[in-house]
């Protein structure tokens, strides 16, 4: 069936393209859309298609939004309390710019009054729009936001799907302690994600017996980490912990390889779960640890999702093994909420808040804004797959506790 490209010509908006597909469904051979019983469900979002956020956004989020809309429309439309209605995506490039994000969501919710909202990418953008979701009463299921501050804001319409800093850092420290690590060095990006995860890591390390031999922050958009890494190498820690964004994760890995820094445990966070990381590092990815929570072995539904994603976008654009799964879980929850209560946003919010949801990543349950159903996890590249290795109850493979030399 016709698909929506990730990048559209400037003269053709995504909204117009979806309308054209719906209008031409009969001639395009889309019987599901032909038999839809109501008008379109207008679903709005802003997403980074350009700028530094686009690396993560175009792996972990927007492909899932497009796949979801396509699958729902092919099945006759979104089930709105028993009535099938086609999905109309209304979206734009936020250009990795905070002002654009806020302005776009204000318009989507305030004046456009779309039926449903999908979230932007990243902790900072979600932090900026979370109060708007609450103001306008739109359930927000955010798959790429890590922020204790968002939890503490107690916004009833905002739900965070990813495991938050505390459980993720506790899982990491538990894994390191259980496998004999005595020292660690830490680098972290100087923004909300890095600062909050570093704070949670420091708390988790307390009383663990693991000493921090070095800790350094770095600015967003850093181009060279080699001076920091050389200083860390000289201190010979058992573990390197990078609370890093995708470009920085690859940078730290490449430069560690270049200078021969190969600790027993090498952990870098966002982006390690991407196919891109494996493609760039090749055999050098083996043994690298990071934030991950699922893969196609996790469940039958996870395998089906993985295969559908690869079928649509190709084998070179696999979903990542962390936020992509949480993004799809959020879409599963949203779909179930609309089927159960329709488009009454307050009823949807109550359904999301008060239900234990069966998803591809397991049973999701919210306590306030936080997903407390999925434990903190650690994953590791092993023979071409990002395996969940900790805790053992969630593992898809045993931990390799001695990272091999960089290749």
- Of all residues in the chain, the percent with pLDDT exceeding 70 is 91
Whether omega before 323 lies within 30 degrees of 0, making that bond cis, reads no
- Average predicted confidence (pLDDT) for the chain: 91
Reply yes or no on whether the pLDDT at 15 is more than 50. no
The confidence score (pLDDT) of residue 272 equals 97
**pLDDT tens by residue, 174-209:** 999 999 999 999 999 998 899 999 999 999 999 999
The confidence score (pLDDT) of residue 321 equals 97
Domains of the chain by residue range = 14-164+299-371, 165-296+376-394
Return the axis-axis angle of helices 165-178 and 192-205, rounded to nearest 10°: 40
**pLDDT tens by residue, 202-231:** 999 999 999 999 999 999 889 999 999 999
The confidence score (pLDDT) of residue 21 equals 38
**pLDDT tens by residue, 140-171:** 999 999 888 899 999 999 999 999 999 999 99
Measured CA to CA in angstroms, residue 76 lies from 31, 37, 83, 339 at distances of 7, 8, 10, 13
Measured CA to CA in angstroms, residue 208 lies from 184, 214, 269 at distances of 11, 16, 21
The confidence score (pLDDT) of residue 180 equals 97
Residue 220 vs residue 389, higher pLDDT: 389
Query: What's the gap between Cα 186 and its chain centre?
Result: 22
Reply yes or no on whether the pLDDT at 387 is more than 50. yes
Look up the pTM and report it. 0.87
Residues 9-16 have a mean pLDDT of 39
CATH architecture of 14-164+299-371: 3-Layer(aba) Sandwich (3.40)
Reply yes or no on whether the pLDDT at 401 is more than 50. yes
Residues 224-250 have a mean pLDDT of 97
Reply yes or no on whether the pLDDT at 12 is more than 90. no
The confidence score (pLDDT) of residue 147 equals 87
The confidence score (pLDDT) of residue 192 equals 87
Rounded to 5 degrees, what are φ and ψ at 386?
A: -90, 95
The confidence score (pLDDT) of residue 37 equals 63
Reply yes or no on whether the pLDDT at 34 is more than 90. no
Residues 113-130 have a mean pLDDT of 96
Residues 117-122 have a mean pLDDT of 96
The confidence score (pLDDT) of residue 38 equals 74
Reply yes or no on whether the pLDDT at 9 is more than 60. no
Q: Which of 345, 348, 368 is nearest to 137 (CA)?
A: 345
- Of all residues in the chain, the percent with pLDDT exceeding 90 is 87
Confidence of residue 31 (pLDDT cuts 50, 70, 90): very low
Reply yes or no on whether the pLDDT at 17 is more than 50. no
- Print burial letters for 136-165: b (CB count within 10 Å at least 16), e (below 16): bebbbbbbbbbbbebbeeebebbbbbbbbb
Residues 253-280 have a mean pLDDT of 97
**pLDDT tens by residue, 326-338:** 999 999 999 999 9
Lowest mean pLDDT among 8-12, 117-121, 291-295, 339-343: 8-12
Measured CA to CA in angstroms, residue 199 lies from 148, 166, 170, 215 at distances of 10, 9, 12, 12
- CATH superfamily for 165-296+376-394 is Response regulator (3.40.50.2300)
């Amino acid at each position: 069936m016709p698909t929506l490209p990730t990048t559209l010509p400037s003269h053709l908006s995504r909204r117009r393209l979806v309308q054209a597909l719906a209008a031409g469904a009969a001639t395009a051979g889309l019987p599901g859309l032909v038999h839809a019983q109501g008008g379109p469900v207008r679903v709005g979002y802003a997403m980074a298609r350009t700028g530094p956020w686009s690396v993560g956004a175009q792996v972990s989020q927007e492909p899932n939004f497009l796949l979801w809309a396509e699958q729902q429309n092919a099945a006759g439309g979104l089930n709105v309390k028993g009535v099938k209605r086609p999905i109309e995506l209304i979206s734009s490039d936020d250009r990795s710019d905070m002002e654009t994000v806020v302005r776009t969501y204000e318009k989507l919710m305030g004046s456009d009054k779309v039926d449903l909202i999908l979230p932007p990418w990243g902790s900072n953008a979600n932090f900026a729009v979370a109060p708007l979701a609450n103001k306008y009463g739109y359930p927000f299921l955010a798959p790429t936001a890590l922020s204790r501050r968002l939890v503490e804001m107690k916004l009833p319409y905002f739900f965070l799907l990813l495991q938050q800093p505390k459980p993720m850092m506790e899982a990491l420290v538990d894994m390191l302690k259980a496998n004999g690590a005595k020292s660690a060095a830490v680098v972290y990006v100087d923004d909300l994600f890095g600062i909050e995860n570093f704070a949670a890591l420091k708390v988790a390390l307390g009383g663990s017996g693991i000493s921090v031999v070095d800790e350094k922050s770095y600015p967003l958009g850093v181009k060279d980490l080699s001076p920091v890494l050389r200083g860390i190498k000289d201190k010979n820690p058992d573990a390197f912990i990078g609370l890093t964004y995708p470009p920085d994760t690859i940078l730290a890995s490449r430069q560690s390889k270049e200078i021969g820094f190969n600790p027993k445990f090498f952990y870098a966070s966002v982006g390690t779960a991407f196919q891109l990381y494996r493609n760039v590092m090749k055999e050098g990815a083996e043994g690298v640890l990071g934030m991950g929570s699922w893969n196609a072995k996790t469940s039958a539904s996870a395998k089906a999702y993985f295969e559908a994603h690869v079928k649509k976008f190709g084998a070179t654009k696999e979903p990542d093994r962390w936020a992509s799964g949480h993004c799809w879980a959020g879409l599963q929850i949203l779909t179930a909420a609309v089927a159960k209560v329709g488009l009454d946003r307050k009823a949807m919010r109550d359904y999301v808040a008060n239900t234990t949801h069966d998803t591809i990543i397991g049973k999701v349950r919210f306590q306030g804004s936080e997903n407390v159903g999925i434990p903190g996890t650690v994953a590791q590249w092993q023979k071409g797959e990002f395996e969940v290795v900790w805790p053992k109850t969630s593992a898809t493979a045993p931990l390799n506790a001695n990272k091999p030399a960089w290749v």
